[in-house]
Structures are given as C-alpha cells and as structure tokens.
Chains A and B, each alone.
Chain A
Amino acid sequence: MSAERYNRQIILKGFGEEAQQKLLRAKVLVIGVGGLGCPALQYLTAAGIGHIGIVDDDTISLSNLHRQILFTTADIGKLKVEVAAKRLQDMNPQIGIIRHPIRLQKNNILDILSRYDYILDGTDNFESRYLINDACALLNKPLIFVAVSGFEGQLAIFNTPDHLTPSTNYRDIFPIPPHKGEIPNCTENGIIGVLPGVLGTMAAAETIKLIAKIGQPLTNKILSYNLLTQEQYTINISHGDDYILPKTVDEFLNMDYQDTSEGPQGYIEIDATELVQLQQLDSTILIDVRERHEVPVLDKQIFTQVPMSEFGAFMGKEFYQKHVVLICQHGIRSVAAAEAMQEKYGDAKKIYSLKGGIIKWRDHFLKS
C-alpha cells in the first residue's frame, strides 16, 4: 500500500498504522447506492477499506442527483453500481471494488453477505431492511443500519456484542415491518439532499470505528439525528422477545419478505379515464388521502379530504356510497388506504386506487 495516501490518518494519535492495516484487510458490503450509500462509499473508499462490495439494481435518474453525489447529469439512465464502481476505483485504485448489480432476495442474499465481514444497509424500503437484518443475524455479520425520514435520521450497529449486552438486531426495536404506506418514503415525502449526506457519512464513520476498534461505536444503541436542530438522542437497545427471527437457512427461506401488507388484493387500480367514469356515478365517493398541506389542492366539493394521519378515525364511520376511489400524490398511500378499506368492507363496497396518483394524471386534475 501507499503509506502516503493514508498518511494523515496513520499519523493521527489514536489511529495509526495498525488501524490502517485493519481497514485494508476488511471486506465491507454497501447495500443501496442512494443518498446514504454514495457518501458512505466515498469515505470508505478514500479511507482504504481493502474490499468494498456494492449492491444496487437501479439506474440513475434526474431526481436522484440532488443527494446521490457520486453521479453526474451525464450518468442518467446508467446502472448505479457501474458508475459508482468506476468513480470509486478512480478515487482509489489500490482497493478492490466488487459490483453486484442485483436486487438482494432470499435466494441470493446469504451467498453474497457471506463474502463480507461488515454490512452497511443504506436501502430505501422496509422489505430490504428486514431481509438484510434477518440475513445478518443468521450469518452473525455486523450490520451498520442507517435510515432517513423527513429531516431526521437513525443510525445503529447490530449483531455486534459489547461488554454489556449480547448482540441485538433491528427486530429488537421494531419486531414486525410496518404496512405499506404506513411510513412515508422519500418518493412520497421528499428528502433534503444533505440529510442522507450527513447520515451516510456518519455510517461510514461507525464502520471505520468498528473495524479499526477505536472509540465507542453505536453497538446496541440507536442514534436519532435531527438536521433542523442538530440534536442527537441515543437509546440503548436490549433484547426483545416478541418476534420471530429465522434460526436456520431453511427457516430464513420460508420467511415472507415480499409483501409486508397482507390482506386480499380485492381493490382495483384505475387510470384517469376510469376515474372520470366512476365520477359520474352518484354512488361514488372520491377520497384524497394526502395530508392537508400537500399541493395541488383539489376541489373539496368533489374530493373528500381524509389524510392518512386521520384515516383510522374515518374508517370508524359509515358512509352510503358503494364505489370508493382513493387518490394520493403517487398512488402508493392510496394503495395502503385501499387495502384497509378492502379488508373492512370486502364485497360490500367496490374499492379503487388511482394508479400513479395525481402526479401521473396531473393534466386531468389541472383541467378539472
């Protein structure tokens, strides 16, 4: 290795040559090359982690660029893993970058994770997060967990015992995944670019601390970070006993990670033309499940406002209309609402969700 490249951290008191050697021998897998994965990968690469694997099956789009800082405008449409690998290799040709342009699933995740010593989860959905958590717990791999929502983030290290507590996992905090639409994601809710930058960098720092055995990594702790106040709040995690964690490969393969919102899919996804037809019927109620602050504002005479945050209360009431059309910004929350309605009413009412939401049919909503 070139000692000069890492000179400034080698000469740092409390780090040194020995810690640098540990980084060079480490194999780290970063899952998700998004807002969190990009900055994490940049610092892990620059710091001299010997082998870095990167997983993502997605391509780069224009709306990624405000937070996914490994990519340029010219990269739009290209595979994230390919562009990231090239850029990282240019940054540091002395380390190994391994590309995994796939989506991790039950049948491939154990094989890939077993090739690495540390796993950094920077994905963007609960399905992946529970899949990765359970796989790491099964394989006993240290997991650096990092996630964002709105102006806040969460950061934790799982599957790593410390002197006080045997190793914990994500299910010790949240035993089962939320239903689809219960927690808004970045597509629905928006995200300020610098937030995953901060959290992704903090996740890289925790990974480096864990490998180099310096400081006090967030082992068995979860840190909450608020960008607007710069406040942090750290909570100690202990073992819970109200969840099922697969203990064998067979049990793991039998887990259901695909759809976290069970319930029969009896509702129908419609387009704007079908919406217009349904709108003609007296027995139709059109429900806008977006929060009250969201734009564009629709005609409240036509669209009944029932934000998702008030949906539970609304479900307790009765109404006469037989056809129920649920709409939201992108057609994701409306699916969650449709599932809840379907579960309650079964065949008693016909439930519809506008696929693609108001954004997809913008022209229709703006003219009406």
Chain B
Amino acid sequence: MEIEIISFGQIAEFINHQKIEVDGIADTDAFKRYLEDRFPTLKGMKYKLALNKNIVQQNTEIKNQATIAIMPPFSGG
C-alpha cells in the first residue's frame, strides 16, 4: 500500500515529503504508531494528522494512495 506523507514546520525538518510503501497499516492509529516508531522525536511533540485533507479526530481507515499530512502548532507572530 502506498501512502504519501506531507509534513510542516519543525516536523518537516526530520520527516521529508515522501511516498512510503508499507503493509499492515490499516488505520490512522496504526500509522501513528509507525510514525513514532520510525521518528521517535515525534513522540514528545504536539501534532495533528490530516487524512486526505480532513483532520483526523478518531481512528480512521487508510486506503491505498492516501495522503497524510502531519501538522505541528505554530504560535509565532
């Protein structure tokens, strides 16, 4: 299964825009575990996922060729 990952702000410093080929990631909870496992820095950070441009509020099924965005909060002005 192919997933496109888009990231913003300081998360983009360690997770590049990329397409990954993975199996066994059925939903957004599993994807979160995968991400935090592969990029441990993410564990201590606040971030939100968006699946195909919709904010993820509860565990949601991921289909092939999904796009997942990882967004940290910004406060600067």
Q: A residues within 8 Å of B by Cβ?
A: 32, 34-37, 122-126, 129, 146-150, 152-154, 172-174, 176-178, 182-186, 189, 191, 196, 222, 224, 226, 233-241, 309-313
Contacts and interface: CB of A to CB of B under 8 A. Distances in A.
Interface in B21-77: 40-41, 43-46, 48, 50, 53-55, 57, 69, 71-77
A240 to B, nearest CB: 5
A183 B47 CA distance: 11
Given A34-B77, A123-B75, 18 more contacts: A125-B75, A147-B76, A148-B74, A148-B77, A150-B9, A150-B10, A154-B71, A154-B74, A172-B57, A184-B10, A186-B77, A191-B76, A233-B53, A239-B57, A240-B55, A312-B40, A312-B41, A313-B40
28 contacts: A124-B76, A125-B75, A147-B73, A148-B74, A148-B76, A148-B77, A149-B10, A150-B9, A152-B8, A152-B74, A173-B48, A176-B46, A177-B46, A182-B44, A182-B45, A182-B46, A183-B46, A185-B75, A224-B69, A226-B8, A233-B53, A234-B53, A235-B50, A235-B69, A238-B57, A239-B57, A241-B57, A309-B13
Closest 10 CB pairs of A and B: A124-B77, A147-B74, A149-B74, A235-B50, A174-B73, A148-B76, A312-B44, A186-B76, A36-B77, A178-B46
Nearest to B53: A235
B74 A236 contact: no
Nearest to A187: B76
B53 A236 contact: yes
A182 B48 CA distance: 15
Contact of A124 (B55, B69, B75): B75
A185 B75 CA distance: 7
A32 B76 CA distance: 11
Given A173-B48, A312-B44, A185 B76 contact: yes
A32 B57 CA distance: 31
Interface residues of B, number: 26
A152 B9 contact: yes
B55 A149 contact: no
A36 B76 CA distance: 9
Contacts of A189: 76
A126 B73 contact: yes
Contacts of B69: 224, 233, 235
A239 B53 CA distance: 15
Contact of B54 (A36, A238, A309): A238
B48 A174 contact: yes
Interface string B1-30: 000001011100110000000000000000
